[in-house]
Chains A and B, each alone.
Chain A
Amino acid sequence: MTEELRVAVDRKPNGAVLYTKGYINNVGGEEIANRAYELMDDNVRTLLLNLRDTKIVNSIGISILIEIIEKMIDKGGSIAFCCLTPVIHKTFQIMGLANYARIFDNEETAIKELGL
């Protein structure tokens, strides 16, 4: 079972898709944040996080994701998620992430809806 989180970035004409693989905890969350902030500094304002290969998120990981969302909102951009496991989807709803970030079932729909 993968312990450390790995992040891959796919730049799109109007934003970027971040693919995560592994555990979104403190270390994993910071890794996502670093990549997201780099993209924000590069004027990317629409980010899609594809969590298809992530099965576990803990509360610290969630708080970091919230910080990323808030930072993007401050910059006038938006963050969305796709391909969540049912457990993570419910977690995001309860923890309020779904109030500030759109959640899509699949990447294709997300890219189309976000205009990436």
Chain B
Amino acid sequence: MSPLVHQFAEFLHDLQQLERAALSAHGTLIVDAFTKHTPYDVSAVYLRDGRGPVLRLVAKSDACIAPDLIESEEIEAFLLDPEPRHLIPIRTIRDHFGIIALNGDAASDEDLQMLHAAGTFAGSVLSNHRMAQEMREGDFQLKYRLWELESLYDIGLSIAGTLNIDALADEILFRMISLINARRAALFLRDGDKFRVYRSFGDTRSDFLDDEITDRVVAAGEALTFEDASECIFPGCIATVAVPIKGNNAVIGVLAAGDRETREGDVGAFEANELRLLSLFANQVAIALENARLHKEALEKQAMQRELDLAATIQRDILPKSIPTVEGIELAALSRPAKQVGGDYHAFFQRDGSLTTIVADVSGKSMPAALLVSAFHAAVQLLFAEGRELGDIATELNRHIHSWSAENKFITMIMVTIDPEAETIQFVNAGHNPCYVLTGDHIEQLRSHGLPIGILGTSKYMTQTRPFPAGSAVVLYSDGINEAENVAGDEWGNEVFEELLALRSTISASALRDSIAEAVDAFVGEAAQKDDQTLVIARTAM
């Protein structure tokens, strides 16, 4: 190989390094190669910015005064000082990459051919470099689109399978930020007429989405961008985007993001493809949030049902398992709890040949009522065991329940003691329905003569006494009997009740109980039982 060819090969080899070097190193590499392998000094090197018309100064000698940018290939129009001896274009047939300004002695034709050949070679290398760069960017963009699609698919699987709303909110926010290169984001969920921040990333303005923005997003029903500083969702944001999360019947939330990043390190407006992506994302989020909401509701229902079951168990366990056998008294009872646990209570006590029965109704439903019934039951058992008389028991019960229970809780109660031998009936009626005493064809009501138990701590109750001739019956009941409703919402009522009692005043206690139950059931028909039904009937022997 001739020395000239060898020298030219080394020149090209050095220029070949452009292919692997970073863009920022290209100017230096060109200067080094031309300085090393030609007799000329490089005064300046201009390279094109991408495919645009602007040539940028990338390297120059200390002595050269040159503008940073030139707008076209007409470098002759620009004054370089000192004026270059030679201008060597860096170009291929298709593309122009830049120009090299050289100083030095006049060149021969052969030298000029070599310089131009080197410039063309450098152009080819830069062309390869650019193609490789574009391929890499294209590959990246392709993979990025694939990642977007995979993300949407994954989001569908992942967030639809996440039923914990807190975990779901984090997942939604992370995915959204990642997908659209946002620096700030928030998930707003409906809170009445407003949308409250449920999760946020970065600085957010307030706890609620601005009313005007809310109206616009809900009305649009699709992703909207806000590029006016006055209407930005986050403070100091250049541009934000908001998209409604549409549930079955209404907008259930809003996803908002701001400060979209660019590779240059700036933040800018969101692009159309990102809005489309965000809208698709919001559809997935809506399904996931609905699933989470339904799951939460199901859990709450389960918890409520467990509470009701427990309350029913408590109440069932404290009611008499069987009716006591008392000489000279026939007893019959009916206890039908409503589906939703109420607070009916009844009990029997025997003492010295007499029988005491209690029917009570605790205000409220479910667990609180069951607990109060439980406390009432314990106190009743204790007080009767002490052998106290009815008025004293009622007074003590009132004091106990008033101090123990919540302010708005009370118990209506009727207690009757039948003494077959003395043929008397004693009673205390604390705010309860009047009970009926049936003697022959005569019906008497034993009405309330005091406040319900627990209303006023200082209330005192006096025992009332009435004659109760042999063969008489007493009928105690809760308001679930006389206020039983049919499908039309009408109550069975005391008038009908009393007519029935008048017709059946002499039949046995159990027959009378069955007769009342049948009449109530016939009246109620297909309507659901709204309240506990308790009925206690005691009849003395003739």
| A, B from the same assembly | yes
* A96 in contact with B261 given A3-B183, A87-B174 (CB within 8 Å): no
A107 surroundings in chain B (CB, below 8 A): none
- Smallest Cβ distance from B132 to chain A, in angstroms? 12
- Smallest Cβ distance from B138 to chain A, in angstroms? 13
B174 surroundings in chain A (CB, below 8 A): 55-56, 87
A58 within 8 A of B: yes
The answer to whether B147 and A60 touch across the interface, beta carbons within 8 angstroms, is no
A35 within 8 A of B: no
Q: Which of A1-54 contact B (CB under 8 A)?
A: 1, 3, 23, 25-27, 30
In the complex, the chain B residue whose C-beta lies closest to that of A2 is: B201
The answer to whether B181 and A58 touch across the interface, beta carbons within 8 angstroms, is yes
In the complex, the chain A residue whose C-beta lies closest to that of B201 is: A1
A90 surroundings in chain B (CB, below 8 A): 150, 154
In the complex, the chain A residue whose C-beta lies closest to that of B181 is: A58
B144 within 8 A of A: yes
The answer to whether B178 and A57 touch across the interface, beta carbons within 8 angstroms, is yes
B224 within 8 A of A: no
Q: Which of B175-208 contact A (CB under 8 A)?
A: 175, 177-179, 181-183, 200-202
- The residue that A94 contacts in the complex, of B147, B179, B200, B263, with Cβ under 8 A, is B147
- The residue that B261 contacts in the complex, of A55, A60, A66, with Cβ under 8 A, is A60
Q: How far is the CA of A1 from the CA of B203 in the complex (A)?
A: 10
The answer to whether B265 and A59 touch across the interface, beta carbons within 8 angstroms, is no
A94 surroundings in chain B (CB, below 8 A): 143, 146-147, 150
- The residue that A58 contacts in the complex, of B20, B146, B177, with Cβ under 8 A, is B177
Q: How far is the CA of A106 from the CA of B20 in the complex (A)?
A: 34
The answer to whether B265 and A63 touch across the interface, beta carbons within 8 angstroms, is no
- Smallest Cβ distance from B77 to chain A, in angstroms? 37
In the complex, the chain A residue whose C-beta lies closest to that of B141 is: A59
B497 within 8 A of A: no
B170 surroundings in chain A (CB, below 8 A): 55
A26 surroundings in chain B (CB, below 8 A): 261-263, 265
* A91 in contact with B265 given A56-B174, A58-B181 (CB within 8 Å): no
* A25 in contact with B201 given A94-B143, A95-B147 (CB within 8 Å): no
Q: How far is the CA of A90 from the CA of B151 in the complex (A)?
A: 9
* A95 in contact with B144 given A59-B181, A60-B261 (CB within 8 Å): yes
Q: Which of A54-79 contact B (CB under 8 A)?
A: 55-60, 63, 66, 74
Q: How far is the CA of A40 from the CA of B263 in the complex (A)?
A: 23
Q: How far is the CA of A110 from the CA of B490 in the complex (A)?
A: 78
A59 surroundings in chain B (CB, below 8 A): 144, 147, 181
Q: How far is the CA of A27 from the CA of B202 in the complex (A)?
A: 14
Q: How far is the CA of A60 from the CA of B179 in the complex (A)?
A: 11
The answer to whether B154 and A58 touch across the interface, beta carbons within 8 angstroms, is no
* A25 in contact with B263 given A3-B201, A56-B177, A57-B178 (CB within 8 Å): no
A3 surroundings in chain B (CB, below 8 A): 183, 201-202
The answer to whether A60 and B263 touch across the interface, beta carbons within 8 angstroms, is yes
Q: How far is the CA of A8 from the CA of B178 in the complex (A)?
A: 23
B20 surroundings in chain A (CB, below 8 A): 74
The answer to whether A63 and B263 touch across the interface, beta carbons within 8 angstroms, is yes
B182 surroundings in chain A (CB, below 8 A): 58
Apart from A57-B178, A87-B154, what 12 extra A-B contacts exist at CB < 8 Å? A26-B261, A30-B265, A56-B178, A58-B181, A59-B147, A59-B181, A60-B261, A87-B175, A90-B154, A94-B143, A94-B150, A96-B139
Closest 7 CB pairs of A and B: A58-B181, A94-B147, A26-B261, A56-B174, A95-B143, A58-B178, A3-B202
26 chain-A/chain-B pairs, Cβ below 8 angstroms: A1-B200, A3-B201, A23-B177, A23-B183, A23-B201, A25-B183, A26-B261, A26-B262, A26-B263, A27-B265, A55-B170, A55-B174, A56-B178, A59-B147, A59-B181, A60-B181, A60-B261, A74-B20, A91-B151, A91-B178, A94-B147, A94-B150, A95-B143, A95-B147, A96-B140, A96-B143
